[in-house]
Amino acid sequence: MYSPHAALIGGRSFDQCGDDLPLDIEAIRADFPILSRRLPNGKQLVYFDNAATSQKPKCVIDAMSRYYEEYNSNAHRAIHTLADEATAALEGARDMISSYFGTSSDQLIYTSGATEAINLVAYGWAREKLGKGDVVVLTEMEHHADIVPWQQLSIDKGVEVRFVPIDTESFTLDMDALEVALDGASLVCVVHTSNVLGVRNPIEKIIEMSQSVGARVLIDCAQGAPHERIDFDSLGADFIAISAHKMAGPTGIGCILVKKDAMAEMGPFMTGGSMIKRVTMEKSTFQDGNAMFETGTPRIAEAIGWGAAVEWLNQFDMGEIHDHINDVASWTAAQMREIPGIKIYGEPEREDSSGAISFLHESIQSLDLALLLDEGGFAVRTGHHCAQPLMDALGVPSTNRASFWVYNTMGEAEAFIDHLRYIVERFS
Instruction: Determine the residue with CB nearest ligand PLP.
Output: 113
CB of 405 to ligand PLP, least distance (A): 13
- Residue pair 49/380 in contact (Cβ under 8 Å)? The answer is yes
What is the rounded distance in angstroms from the CA atom of residue 240 to the CA atom of residue 221?
6
Determine phi and psi for 53, rounding to 5 degrees: -165, 145
Closest CA to 121 of 203, 38, 242: 242
Q: Which residues bind ligand PLP (CB under 6 A)?
A: 113-115, 143, 145, 191, 195, 220, 222-223, 243, 245, 254
Question: Closer to ligand PLP at the Cβ: 113 or 307?
Answer: 113
What is the rounded distance in angstroms from the CA atom of residue 93 to the CA atom of residue 159?
37
Catalytic residue among 59, 189, 255, 386: 386
Which residues, 6+ apart, have CB-to-CB distance to 377 below 8 Å?
38, 39, 41, 43, 44, 45, 46
Question: Closer to ligand PLP at the Cβ: 390 or 423?
Answer: 390
CB of 48 to ligand PLP, least distance (A): 15
Question: Closer to ligand PLP at the Cβ: 75 or 390?
Answer: 390
What is the rounded distance in angstroms from the CA atom of residue 59 to the CA atom of residue 71?
17
- Residue pair 357/403 in contact (Cβ under 8 Å)? The answer is yes
Question: Closer to ligand PLP at the Cβ: 195 or 315?
Answer: 195
Question: Closer to ligand PLP at the Cβ: 92 or 254?
Answer: 254
CB of 254 to ligand PLP, least distance (A): 6
CB of 154 to ligand PLP, least distance (A): 19
Q: How far apart are the first and last CA of the chain?
A: 63
- The yes-or-no answer on residue 386 being catalytic is yes
Query: Does an H or E element contain 394, and which?
Result: helix 388-394
Residue 22: CB atoms within 10 Å: 8
- Residue pair 68/304 in contact (Cβ under 8 Å)? The answer is no
CB of 44 to ligand PLP, least distance (A): 26
Q: Length of the chain, please? A: 428
Which residues are known to be catalytic?
386
